[in-house]
Structure 1
Amino acid sequence: SQSLIKKLEKIERIEIDNEDVSKFNIRFQPSVTPGKVIFEAENLGKAYGDKQVFDHVNFFVQRGEKIALLGQNGQGKTTLAKILAGVTKDYTGSWTLGHNVNIGYFAQNQEEVLDPNKTVLQEAEDAATEETRPRVRDLLGSFLFQGDAVSKKTKVLSGGERNRLALCKLLLRPFNTLIMDEPTNHLDIQSKEIIKLALQNFEGTLIVISHDREFLQGLCDKIFEFRDGQMKEFLGNIDEYLDYRQKESIREVSIEKAKLSEKPEIKEKTEPVKTEPAKNTFISKEQKNLQNKLKKAEEKIADYEAEIAGLEEIFSKTNPTDEELKKYNQLKEELAEIMKEWEEIMGNLE
């Protein structure tokens, strides 16, 4: 749970605090000023097979806004991020990109983005501009890539190392709009503080998905909530939103069961139903199998949440031992793997 993470960070912040991090003076590169409206969506929808994830979504994002995408698991937060980043092309409705908008995208699964045969240094240098190239090694050092670490191939990096490298790459190019999907996953405290401070100083537009309450505090003042197949706008910060939902953590909101309706067949832009009946029947069975896998993955996620809650109860009474911290970190990594498996199942339902 996020309150557990907050406790752990407070324990570790003896070594690294905001004052230390501010000395790095790391900022995003200035970019051209875009138009007043960054994104505008009309009746935007996305379905995976017969499962309508969200539909009839309407919104616009103005220049300089910092918005968090929150809500139940499987309701389209990552999907919307991918649509706006230009990664996902298959959707219903429409959306428009504003004038002079230059997007930097942080994907949740960095192994799908990084070149496995390039070194850390090569990835960073390839992302740099002529102006930022002299800063590459210093920036990598700030994100704990020092000495021989810059010569490691990206295919051998841990999840945290991949995320740190991806953040470095974003800082080396000029963007006026950032879309970030779980940027603090697997991050050490120093890297998390560096990126939060850089984002607070960022004058552009930010759309971020995160389960980290403390990371979002003082960063976002508007929320797009994904709930029961719909997206609604909430004007307020993360603390106000959780008070409204009467939840202690973002994860509690995420694991709530969604009430979804089946996607009406009339919306399918496919061949008429009367053709290929055998194929349609097969797809239906396949989807049922995937739905069962999806349910099992969600049950595993709930089990991990319960175990983390147990640790939180212990840590609320006494400081964690090294063994307990190790167990917590292992739980977090395993939970991330299950979440990845869940996302792959959702993708296969398409």
Structure 2
Amino acid sequence: ASKAKQAQSRVKALDKLERIEDVAADAPKVNFKFQFKTEPGRHILRLEHMSKRYGDKLILQNTNVNIERGDKIALIGANGKGKSTLMRIIAGTEPVEGKRQLGHNVIMAFYAQHQLESLNVENEILQELTEAGSQRNEMELRTVLGSFLFTGEAVFKKIKVLSGGEKSRVALAKTLISEANFLLLDEPTNHLDMQSVNILIQALEQYEGTFVVISHDRYFVENVANKIWFIEDYQLKEYPGTYHEYEYWQEQREKDARKNGVKIDKPTPKTEVTEKPKTNGSEQNNLQSDLKKLNQQLKQVEQEVQHLEREIDGYETQLADPKIYANVNAMQETTQKFEKAKKTLNQQNSLWENLMESIDQLEGKLKTT
């Protein structure tokens, strides 16, 4: 009954609000005018019977990748699953077992945090984009830079005085003005505020080429991807639809799995395990004690993740409020809080992944005792 009353109160409050026509129409619009030197063939990239491991840690096993012209792919999943490794494999910078075949006339551009090192620190921002070889005039380059919050005299700042976030935005702008017909984007929304994220979404919507993007930003993925990739049981798997459709499919899949007593996304090593000597009772007690502590930490992290997700949802709601949007100081303050919460959430997700790996290892040891 209390929830029903809350819902009724919310409806009445909403009815009292002044209706504003198309707030989104005030958001900045941009036309990137992507330029391709050459049109690629139908097949962009194929990887066959691909396997990858780091020492004893298996990442991928005998899996296949097929990217077709026009694919807009989002590679999603928790940290530590091998997403960035797969991206480097696609780029051809990571050695891998299997066959790699790049398609005809494919021109690739790769954006990742480590690309910041390729920026010429002695260049000014505008100069850096001019030297990228896109043949765009100064006005076009200023328009692109303005979309990423470099306006007026700011375009003459030296790269060496920029913050890490500012360098990321320069590197992303440099990637987008390239003549590449195949983009690889590893966490491109990191260090971007909501306005810049929306600009990037518009750019990728206008992009007629092919791209693969890694992102934990649900809003971003929902708006740019027409295929979803995820790594499960050391295999690359594909859902041929939007992120919203993928979420619904995954929920149904998990429900069916629970009914059948099957666990989803709990990979078990497919490599041979050598028999380990039995441990004594004291060692087993120590393992169980360690496992209990890790599970307690995991529960705390999961609660923190849920709290941060609710906090981020709240900031997104505030940033969509016309009153906040019209107040520069309030907008900046809320954006800073939003970015801080996102950064903390990424850290907590990484911690969760590490804890899960440790728990899996301990459970494996206990099974052999």
TM-score (norm 2): 0.67
Which has the larger helix fraction?
Answer: 2
Q: C-alpha separation between the residues in 2 aligned to 1:151 and 1:35? A: 39
Q: C-alpha separation between the residues in 2 aligned to 1:122 and 1:339? A: 38
Q: C-alpha separation between the residues in 1 aligned to 2:316 and 2:153? A: 40
One of 54, 59, 64 as aligned partner of 2:65: 59
Gaps of 5+ in 1: 1-12, 248-255, 266-294, 344-350
Residues 219-248 of structure 1 show CA distances to partners (whole Å, capped at 9, x for unaligned) of 22212211232211211210011112229x
One of 17, 31, 36 as aligned partner of 2:24: 17
Q: Is it true that 1:73 corresponds to 2:85 in the alignment?
A: no
Distance 1:98 1:241, change over 3 A: same
Q: Which residue matches 2:281?
A: none
Q: Which residue matches 2:15?
A: none
Q: C-alpha separation between the residues in 2 aligned to 1:118 and 1:125? A: 10
Gaps of 5+ in 2: 1-19, 253-263, 274-293, 325-329, 354-369
Report if aligned partners of 2:230, 2:236 keep a CA contact under 8 Å in 1.
yes
Q: Which residue matches 1:333?
A: 343
Distance 1:35 1:131, change over 3 A: same
Distance 1:58 1:129, change over 3 A: same
Task: Please report the RMSD computed on the Cα atoms of aligned residues, expressed in angstroms.
Answer: 3.9
Q: Is it true that 1:164 corresponds to 2:169 in the alignment?
A: yes
Question: Map of 1:209-228 to 2, 5 A cutoff?
Answer: 209-228=214-233
Residues 183-214 of structure 1 show CA distances to partners (whole Å, capped at 9, x for unaligned) of 11221222212221121121111111112222
Distance 1:133 1:261, change over 3 A: farther
Report if aligned partners of 2:34, 2:177 keep a CA contact under 8 Å in 1.
yes
- Which is bigger in relative contact order (C-alpha 8 A, separation at least 6)? 1
Q: Which residue matches 1:148?
A: 153
Residues 20-62 of structure 1 show CA distances to partners (whole Å, capped at 9, x for unaligned) of 433x322322231111100011011221211011111112111
**Aligned length, in residue pairs:** 294
Opposite residue 24 of structure 2, the aligned amino acid is: D
Q: Is it true that 1:87 corresponds to 2:97 in the alignment?
A: no
Structure 1 position 332, deviation (Å): 2.2
Distance 1:97 1:317, change over 3 A: closer
Q: Is it true that 1:261 corresponds to 2:266 in the alignment?
A: no
Q: C-alpha separation between the residues in 1 aligned to 2:88 and 2:235? A: 17
Opposite residue 132 of structure 2, the aligned amino acid is: A
Distance 1:59 1:308, change over 3 A: same
Opposite residue 123 of structure 1, the aligned amino acid is: E
Q: C-alpha separation between the residues in 1 aligned to 2:266 and 2:121? A: 37
Opposite residue 74 of structure 2, the aligned amino acid is: A
Question: Map of 1:58-137 to 2, 5 A cutoff?
Answer: 58-88=64-94, 90-132=95-137, 135-137=140-142
Q: Percent identity?
A: 37
Report if aligned partners of 1:160, 1:188 keep a CA contact under 8 Å in 2.
no
Report if aligned partners of 2:39, 2:105 keep a CA contact under 8 Å in 1.
yes
Structure 1 position 19, deviation (Å): 5.8
Q: C-alpha separation between the residues in 2 aligned to 1:201 and 1:316? A: 24
Structure 1 position 264, deviation (Å): 5.6
Distance 1:204 1:243, change over 3 A: same
Opposite residue 224 of structure 1, the aligned amino acid is: W
Q: Which residue matches 1:40?
A: 46
Q: Which residue matches 1:272?
A: none
Opposite residue 228 of structure 2, the aligned amino acid is: I
Q: Which residue matches 1:27?
A: 33
Q: Which has the larger radius of gyration?
A: 2
Q: Which residue matches 1:311?
A: 311
SS in structure 2 opposite 1:29? coil
Structure 1 position 66, deviation (Å): 1.2
Structure 1 position 14, deviation (Å): 11
Q: C-alpha separation between the residues in 2 aligned to 1:170 and 1:313? A: 30
Q: Which residue matches 1:279?
A: none
Structure 1 position 145, deviation (Å): 0.7
Report if aligned partners of 1:50, 1:263 keep a CA contact under 8 Å in 2.
no
Opposite residue 50 of structure 1, the aligned amino acid is: D
Report if aligned partners of 1:45, 1:54 keep a CA contact under 8 Å in 2.
yes
SS in structure 2 opposite 1:217? helix
SS in structure 2 opposite 1:78? helix
Q: Is it true that 1:200 corresponds to 2:205 in the alignment?
A: yes
Report if aligned partners of 1:38, 1:97 keep a CA contact under 8 Å in 2.
yes
Q: Which residue matches 2:283?
A: none
Q: Which residue matches 1:288?
A: none
Question: Map of 1:291-306 to 2, 5 A cutoff?
Answer: 302=302, 305-306=305-306
TM-score (norm 1): 0.70
Residues 279-337 of structure 1 show CA distances to partners (whole Å, capped at 9, x for unaligned) of xxxxxxxxxxxxxxxx99x9697575244035358779999996776544323234456
Which deviates the most, 315-324 or 69-78?
315-324
